[in-house]
Amino acid sequence: MSAVGGVVYGSTVYGLSKAWYADFERTRFHFFNDWGEWNNMDKAGHAFTGYFESVLSYHGVRWAGVPEKPAIWLASGLSLLFQTTIEVLDGHSSKWGFSVPDMAYNIAGTALFTTQQLIWRDQKISLKISAWPRSYSSDPLRSINSMETSTLSRRTDALFGRGLLERYLKDYNAQTIWVSVNPSSFASEPWEKFSWINIAMGYGSENLFGGFGNSWQEENALFRLSPSDYPRYRQWFLAPDIDWTRIPTNSKLLKTVFRVMNVFKVPAPTLSLSSNGVRWYWLYL
């Protein structure tokens, strides 16, 4: 099993170094303070990734026959190993740098899994993700220092990619990170009929077309979006959710499918709070 893990880890690191970092100059190791970038949506994503990798690794090593407590620590270590490796690679990239805030959220996501599994042998609180593809305007945008034009669609293609998977992972305007809590698991006598119902609190942002601001450069042309037309703001959500892992089944296949499904927040009626006020969605995706 350790050999398989080593191959997976080595292949992942090699693939990242070739695909993700190949277009940027390698530098001496350095730090980069990116706190506040993308309204910290990426930080929420780091916590989710740390949690998700811990859960995935835990079930993998348990399936391989590792006892409960060693499996918890091994899964946590694997999660932190992968995330620390990415931060170190960032630290040698001219575009990025080792981010202490990113690492703190990696640890927080992993710790959420570890502490619950050690104390309760259960994940009563889980981190989930939801996202729905966005389309962006192709109306011309005039440069602030030339006669050149661009479009919001071109800008988002450059930022978030064009593929569905890239957009799902990178488009912070379309993404929401959720803390999903199972009330029944906290009751002295669990509510068996409703044991699969969760309450979820989400965090998202709108109008993010740059890390720290909505301005960018295309060759010699500078573009800047008006804050009145495209205000950057944070959103908070409250919605029901489903803990698929608590739905009774004797099927090993279904149990595996439910674990995978539990990574994602189910679409549901949702209440939203932001600087724009309170908004109700009959179905928030």
Question: So what's the pLDDT on residue 166?
Answer: 87
pLDDT tens sequence across 65-91: 999 999 999 999 999 999 999 999 999
Going by pLDDT thresholds of 50, 70 and 90, the confidence category of residue 19 is very low
Residue-wise pLDDT for 32-56, tens only, equals: 999 999 999 999 999 999 999 999 9
Read off the pTM: 0.92
Mind listing the pLDDT tens digit for each residue in 83-134?
999 999 999 888 889 999 999 999 999 999 999 999 999 999 999 999 998 9
Out of 15-29, 32-46, 166-180, least confident range: 15-29
DSSP letters, the chain, are: -HHHHHHHHHHHHHHHHHHTSTTS-B-S--B---TTGGGGHHHHHHHHHHHHHHHHHHHHHHHTT--HHHHHHHHHHHHHHHHHHHHHHHHTBSS--B-HHHHHHHHHHHHHHHHHHHHTSS-SEEEEEEE-------SEEE-SSSS-EEEHHHHHHHHH-SSHHHHHHH-TTTEEEEEEE-GGGGSSS--GGGTTEEEEEEEEEE---SSSSSEEEETTEEEE--TTTS--EEEEEEEEEE-GGGS----HHHHHHHHHHTTBPPPEEEEEEETTEEEEEEEE-
Residue 135's pLDDT band (cuts 50, 70, 90): very high
Question: Mind listing the pLDDT tens digit for each residue in 223-235?
Answer: 999 999 999 999 9
